[in-house]
C-alpha cells in the first residue's frame, strides 16, 4: 500500500518550520567558531584533539572508550588522535581501578597549560559575541543551545540502541524549562559542591591542585557555622535541587567582631562550567551587593588574580575597582594577586 503523503509525525510537522533556520544557524556557528579550519581555538591541534583535551580536563580522566562515546567518533580515529596527544606530551596514560585492560587518560602539566589557553581563547570568542547582545538575551541563548545540543545527543543515543551514557532512553518528553533560582542561606551539600566547582575549574584552567582545593574547603568549613551572625550570608544558584553557583559575604573576616560598619569580604564566587556568560553570575553578585549595602558596610573587598578577565568585567560593572596587586602563592601556585574594592553605595 502506498504511504500517504501526510504520514509524517505530528512532532516533525510542528518542527518543520524551524528546521531550515536551525540548519542555517548551525552552519554559521560552525564557520564563525572556526571548525572549518584545520586547527582550532588558536592551537596547532585539530578540532577533535581540542575537544578531547576539554572532555578529559573537565572530568579529570577518561578511558578511550568513554572518549569515543563523548566525541561521537570511531575507535580507530580516537586511538590515532590519542597516540599523537600522548606523544606530544599533552596526555598521560595510567591504569584503571575498575578495568585492568583499560587505560585512563589524564592531562599532563603541558596539557593543562594547553587547555588553559584553549579556555581563554574560547571565553574571549564567546564573550565578545555575547557583548553584541543585550544582557537580557544571554540566558535565552544559553538555554536554547543547551536544549538543542541535548536533543541532538538524545537522538544519537536512541539511534545507537536506546542508551545514553549507560542509561536507557525511551523517548524525549516535552521539555519544561524551570529558571535557575537564587536562594539565601545554607543548604545540604553546599560546602562539598562549592569546593568541587572551584577545584575543577581552577585545576583545568590554571593548574591549581590540592593546596588550593584544601584552602577552599577549610575556609568554607570555618565560615558556614558563622552564618547565624549578622553580616554573614551565602547564596546558592539552584537548577532544581542541583547547586550550580555560590557566592558568600563574610562580614567578620576583615572587620573583626563588629560586622557593620566595617569591611565585607566577597568569597567563594563560582558558577558551574557551561553556565557562565548567561547572566547567572551577575544575578548572584547583585544579590550580594544589595545585602552589603543594606547591612551598612563601608566597603566590600575581594581577592582574585590577574588573568580572570571575564570575572573582572563583572566586578567592575558592579562597582569594584582594582586597588592593589602583588605576587603571591596563597593559591598553591605563583600568581599576580589582585585586590578589588567597592565603596558603600547609599
E strands, the chain, are: 62-63, 91-95, 103-107, 163-164, 167-168, 181-184, 233-239, 242-250, 263-271, 299-305, 321-328, 335-343
Question: Mean pLDDT of all residues in the chain?
Answer: 81
pLDDT of residue 11: 40
pLDDT digits (tens, 9 = 90+) for 123-132: 778 877 777 7
Average pLDDT value for residue range 322-343:
83
Please give the full DSSP string across 25-94, using - where no structure is assigned.
Answer: HHHHHHHHTTTTSSS-TTSSS-HHHHHHHHHHHHHS-EEHHHHHHHHT--HHHHHHHHHHHHHTTSEEEE
pLDDT of residue 176: 44
**C-alpha–C-alpha distance, residues 122 and 87, integer Å:** 25
| Percent over 90 (pLDDT), the chain | 35
pLDDT of residue 178: 55
pLDDT digits (tens, 9 = 90+) for 55-94: 998 888 888 888 888 898 898 888 899 999 999 999 998 8
pLDDT of residue 66: 87
* Long-range Cβ pairs for the range 41-44 (8 Å, 24+): 41/117, 41/118, 41/121, 41/122, 42/117, 42/118, 42/121, 43/114, 43/117, 43/118, 43/121
pLDDT of residue 248: 97
pLDDT of residue 99: 52
Q: Is the pTM of this model over 0.75?
A: no
Q: Which of 22-36, 134-148, 180-194, 321-335 has the highest mean pLDDT?
A: 180-194
Query: Does residue 180 have a pLDDT over 90?
Result: no
Amino acid at each position: 500500500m502506498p504511504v500517504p503523503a501526510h504520514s509524517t509525525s505530528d512532532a516533525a510537522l510542528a518542527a518543520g518550520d524551524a528546521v531550515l533556520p536551525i540548519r542555517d544557524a548551525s552552519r554559521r556557528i560552525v564557520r564563525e567558531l572556526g571548525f572549518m579550519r584545520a586547527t582550532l581555538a588558536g592551537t596547532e591541534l585539530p578540532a577533535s584533539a581540542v575537544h578531547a583535551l576539554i572532555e578529559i580536563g573537565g572530568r579529570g580522566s577518561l578511558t578511550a572508550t568513554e572518549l569515543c562515546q563523548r566525541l561521537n567518533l570511531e575507535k580507530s580515529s580516537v586511538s590515532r588522535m590519542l597516540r599523537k596527544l600522548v606523544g606530544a606530551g599533552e596526555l598521560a596514560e595510567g591504569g584503571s581501578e575498575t578495568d585492568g585492560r583499560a587505560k585512563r587518560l589524564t592531562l599532563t602539566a603541558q596539557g593543562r597549560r594547553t587547555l588553559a589557553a584553549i579556555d581563554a581563547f574560547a571565553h574571549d570568542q564567546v564573550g565578545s559575541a555575547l557583548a553584541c547582545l543585550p544582557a537580557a538575551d544571554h540566558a535565552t541563548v544559553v538555554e536554547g543551545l543547551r536544549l538543542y545540543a541535548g536533543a541532538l545527543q538524545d537522538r544519537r543515543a536512541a539511534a545507537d540502541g536506546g542508551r545514553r551514557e549507560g542509561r536507557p532512553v525511551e523517548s524525549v518528553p516535552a521539555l519544561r524549562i524551570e529558571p535557575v533560582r537564587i536562594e539565601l542561606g545554607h543548604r545540604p551539600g553546599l560546602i562539598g559542591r562549592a569546593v568541587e566547582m572551584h577545584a575543577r575549574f581552577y585545576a583545568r584552567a590554571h593548574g591549581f591542585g590540592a593546596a588550593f582545593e584544601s584552602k577552599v574547603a577549610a575556609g568554607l568549613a570555618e565560615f558556614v557555622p558563622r552564618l547565624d551572625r549578622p553580616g554573614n550570608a551565602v547564596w546558592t544558584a539552584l537548577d532544581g535541587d542541583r547547586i550550580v553557583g555560590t557566592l558568600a559575604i563574610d562580614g567578620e573576616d576583615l572587620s573583626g567582631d563588629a560586622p557593620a560598619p566595617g569591611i565585607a569580604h566577597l568569597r567563594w564566587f563560582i558558577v558551574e562550567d557551561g553556565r557562565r556568560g548567561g547572566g547567572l553570575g551577575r544575578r548572584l553578585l547583585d544579590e550580594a551587593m544589595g545585602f552589603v549595602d543594606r547591612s551598612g558596610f563601608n566597603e566590600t573587598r575581594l581577592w582574585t588574580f590577574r588573568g580572570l578577565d571575564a570575572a573582572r568585567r563583572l566586578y567592575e560593572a558592579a562597582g569594584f575597582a582594582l586597588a592593589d596587586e602583588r605576587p603571591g602563592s596563597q593559591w598553591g601556585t605563583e600568581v599576580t594577586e589582585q585586590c578589588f574594592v567597592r565603596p558603600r553605595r547609599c
